[in-house]
Amino acid sequence: MDLIDLRSDTVTKPDAEMRRAMAEAEVGDDVFSEDPTVNRLEEEAAAAVGMEAALFVPSGTMGNQIALHLHARPGGEVICDARCHIVNYEIGGMAALSGLLPRALPSPDGLLDPAAVEAAIAPDVSYRARTVLIEVENSHMMAGGTVNDRPHLEAILAVARRHRLPVHFDGARVFNAAAALGVSVASLAAGFDSLNFCLSKGLGAPVGSLLCGSRAFITEGRRVRKMLGGGMRQAGILAAAGLIALRKGPAQLPEDHENAARLARALAGMKGIDLDPASVRTNIVIFRLTPELCGGSAMEFLVRAKEVGVLAVPMSQEKVRFITHRDVSRGQIEEAIERVARL
């Protein structure tokens, strides 16, 4: 039985065009900034998000961690949503690598409330840690791929400007957010001090993310990337696939979103699954199990789903995540629905 892999959009494999481009890529030593393919990717990425410069990094985690390291002094607080990736999935990196504390604010849908952000900024007194950064994630992974629209982002940027705080944008899936909203990535990124986006998720590249910002910020970022062991030498091999992902990947995303919506509608009608299909805006479907199905246990559900050939990941004891992507067709989504229904 063929497995339908809905664990993440990171599981996509490079297609024939990408593999050809990788084989033929012009390369050089990127630590000397001499890899023409990496340089082209960085230029195109910066242009796509409307920022001055970009830095090719091995992962979204490294891009975010470089940004945190550069924006903030040790001992400072980073205001972010409680379910953001930098707090929950980056292995404590902000504390371990940069000495930062998260000031994590709960929200129902992953969208920071601008008033709550303002209220969380520490007063400028000698006996409080300084607030040093605000971080926004869009689309928001743990909240189920929810999207922050421009008016909402504007309100947060206005708070940041009033308090002279930098703002980092974790845009691992910002192309999904832009596709869902029908706007450009650049229009969402405007006004942010830095943005990281991933080529290795919905866009379909095998490896890589781009940290974007001002030219001075990226020049410094290059040093931090080297410090973290991310100086990749002849990385043009990877950047060649990344260029194709950047140029062609966005066009695929509306189809992934339709597949996620279809999956969500079907799952919402099944006994034992608690899911509001209207909350699914991009390629992420997260649902809660109720005791009627697998005793409400995500781990039990995952074992049984694997037995029928469907792969997913747990988000908590009782929550499961499916992500649609370019390597899963509409036909396979219909097949996955039938298989889950059997449970």
Instruction: Decide whether 141 or 266 has the Cβ nearer to ligand TLP.
Output: 141
* Closest approach of ligand TLP to the CB of residue 315, in Å: 9
Provide the minimum distance between the beta carbon of 132 and ligand TLP in the complex, in angstroms, as a whole number. Answer: 20
Alpha-carbon torsion (105, 107, 110, 115), positive or negative: negative
Rank residues 58 and 166 by Cβ distance to ligand TLP and give the closer one. 58
From the CB of 112, what's the least distance to ligand TLP, in Å? 14
Closer residue to ligand TLP, CB minimum distance, 64 or 252: 64
Q: Are 289 and 298 in contact (CB under 8 A)?
A: yes
The beta-carbon contacts of 92-97 under 8 Å, at least 24 apart in sequence, are 93/61, 93/64, 93/65, 93/68, 94/65, 94/68, 97/65, 97/68, 97/69, 97/228
Question: Quick one: 209 or 259, whose CB is closer to ligand TLP?
Answer: 209
Q: How far apart are CA 234 and CA 220, in angstroms?
A: 21
Least CB distance to ligand TLP at residue 125 (A):
33
**Closest distance to ligand TLP from the beta carbon of 168 (Å):** 11
The identity of residue 311, as a single letter, is: L
> How far is Cα 35 from Cα 311, in angstroms, rounded to an integer?
38
CB of 138 to ligand TLP, least distance (A): 9
**Nearer to ligand TLP (CB atom), residue 64 or residue 121:** 64
Residues that bind ligand TLP (CB under 6 A): 8, 10, 59-61, 64, 85, 89, 137, 141, 170, 172, 198, 200, 209
* Position 160, amino acid: A
Q: How many of the other CB atoms lie within 10 Å of CB of 160?
A: 23
Closest CB to ligand TLP among residues 136, 159? 136
Question: Strand 167-171 to strand 131-137: parallel, antiparallel, or no bridges (unpaired)?
Answer: parallel
What b/e string do you get for 78-108 counting C-beta neighbours within 10 Å, with b at 16 or more? bbbbbbbbbbeebeebbeebbebbbbbbebe
- Whose Cβ is closer to ligand TLP: residue 46's or residue 198's? 198
Q: Least separation, in Å, of the C-beta of 51 and ligand TLP?
A: 18
Angle, vertex CA 221, rays to CA 217 and CA 225, nearest 5? 175
Distances (CA, A) of 42 to 51, 52, 216: 11, 10, 15
CB 145 within 8 A of CB 259: no
Report which residue's Cβ sits closest to ligand TLP.
60
Closer to ligand TLP at the Cβ: 91 or 341? 91
Nearest residue to 183 (alpha-carbon basis) of 159, 215, 148: 148
- As measured in angstroms, the least distance from the Cβ of 27 to ligand TLP is 22
Contact 199, 245 (CB under 8 A): yes
Q: Which is nearer to ligand TLP, 178 or 293 (CB)?
A: 178
Tell me if the bond preceding 139 is cis, omega within 30° of 0.
yes
- 10 Å Cβ neighbour count for 137? 29
The nearest distance, CB 85 to ligand TLP, in angstroms, is 4
